[in-house]
Structure 1
Amino acid sequence: MTHWPDRPICAFDLETTDRDPRIARIVTASVVVLDGDTVASRTWLLDPGIEIPEETSAIHGVTTERARAEGLEYTAGYAQIREALCEAWVRDHIVVAFNASYDLTVIDAEGRRLGLPGLATGLVFDPYVVDREMDRGREGGRTLQAVCAAYGVTLTAAHQAEADALAAGQLARALCTRFPQLADLDIMTDQAAWHAERQRNFAEYLSGLGRDASDVDPQWPIRGIA
């Protein structure tokens, strides 16, 4: 088996209707495959079958009217996106997503809503989780834009699925170059542990302020489904 950092990357991003991945529906999606110097991408626009809130349209630019006029029928579009991810894992690719527990939870939850079994994942690399662990002391934000700037990765159009996916894939390469010790880790187990620790600490922080921490989920790469 190819050493995991040397495998082709299938970078993945969704833009959706809601911040909560357990109820969000997909509006746009992209997979970008990086294999050596070769880059190939595929994008989708779906009709989510519900109104797209104005506040989320303002982020990704897709209105309800456009999705209804131009988008794929939702079930068919969802099936294509899920198939592309699962095919990447079958091919032994690394699926890369920035804040993967959001995007993969959407795929899992929507599949369950449509009567499919839970999503069975292969190797996942999450630049959001890895950066927060490997460069804990860095000041500044941890958004995709901020992390791209920290590693010299160009993000051409934030909150556009294809641009975000490509940037996430390039971040994965940049992180593995800057922190070569990642290659020696059990990367799935370690990412899950890093995420769980940070979420537990965040829950304790919220509780200390007297705020509700019940929605802070330590599971990765797919959040618990209530």
Structure 2
Amino acid sequence: MWTQDPWLGFDTETTGISVRSDRIVTAALILRIGGAQPVGPDQERTWLADPGVEIPAQATAVHGITTEHARTHGRPIDEVLEQVTAALVTHWTKGFPVVAFNGSYDVSILDAELRRHGLASLAQRLNGAPMLLIDPLVLDRSVDRYRKGKRTLTSMAPVYGVRASDNAHTAEVDVAMTLDVLAAMVDKHPKLAAMTAEELHSFQVIEHRKWAENFMEFLRRNGKEAHIDPNWPMSEQ
């Protein structure tokens, strides 16, 4: 069962929300051996990058990293990209899942950054190996579709009995909280654990498309126009 596999939690903090134009500032990976029931201590790696561009004040307000701090203390972005990607690809090629909240954004901006800097893409590095991703946001929209309220990580955590950290929007804190939420979600919804990792990935592809199409129809009925990419996990928005 995938719940007994190693989970590699992944998160980034960036200069904005656009996959096409924004840049990675920090990244974090946390490996939990034994999936939902860790049998050893968490293994954590974090990176601070110099993104090579100004970090907007709005982004700094979220994650606390200024342009000056990133330039002074950050590592070259291509070095960070190579190290983060190598860890992810190694995990994926072993057939294990990566866990990320709103993970489509994180894997998509990582892939876009690789291409921007002339580095091999995720697809090139995986060479056909499956890129198994588990996203608690996609799953929550499916298993608790009609719950009211926001579905941010800090809003969702208490729903599953997980304390929302005061340091949310720090990459490594968000990763740990995401892993805790997924573990609690699996306990609450056993049908998720009954799937293989491959089946769960495919399930999310379908469920994200259904959610995107339904939400766009809702917006249109209310006189609003918005395009939500129905593709998952890779997005170009």
Shorter-chain TM-score: which interval? Answer: over 0.9
5+ unaligned residues in a row in structure 1: which ranges? none
Q: 1:145 and 2:150 equivalent?
A: no
**1:174-189 to 2 correspondence within 5 Å?**
174-185=184-195, 186-189=199-202
Aligned partner of 2:11 among 6, 10, 13: 13
Match of 2:104 in 1: 101
Percent of residue pairs identical: 41
The alpha carbon displacement at 1:174 in A equals 1.1
Match of 1:77 in 2: 80
Q: How many residues align?
A: 222
**1:10-49 to 2 correspondence within 5 Å?**
10-35=8-33, 36-38=38-40, 39-49=42-52
Q: 1:196 and 2:170 equivalent?
A: no
Aligned partner of 1:159 among 162, 166, 169: 169
Check whether the contact 1:127–1:171 (CA below 8 A) recurs between aligned residues. Answer: yes
Q: Which residue identity lines up with residue 180 of structure 1 in the other structure?
A: P
The alpha carbon displacement at 1:149 in A equals 0.9
Cα distance in 2 for partners of 1:197, 1:137 equals: 14
TM-score, length basis structure 1: 0.93
The alpha carbon displacement at 1:69 in A equals 0.2
Check whether the contact 2:141–2:211 (CA below 8 A) recurs between aligned residues. Answer: no
Check whether the contact 2:155–2:164 (CA below 8 A) recurs between aligned residues. Answer: no
Q: 1:219 and 2:216 equivalent?
A: no
Aligned partner of 1:124 among 133, 136, 140: 133
5+ unaligned residues in a row in structure 2: which ranges? 124-129
Superposed CA RMSD in Å reads 1.5
TM-score, length basis structure 2: 0.88
Deviation string 1:97-146 (CA, Å, 9 cap, x unpaired) is 00011111111111121223432352111000101111123232211001
Match of 2:126 in 1: none
Q: Which secondary structure does the structure 2 equivalent of 1:77 belong to? A: helix
Q: Which residue identity lines up with residue 167 of structure 1 in the other structure?
A: M
Cα distance in 2 for partners of 1:147, 1:182 equals: 17
**1:47-86 to 2 correspondence within 5 Å?**
47-86=50-89
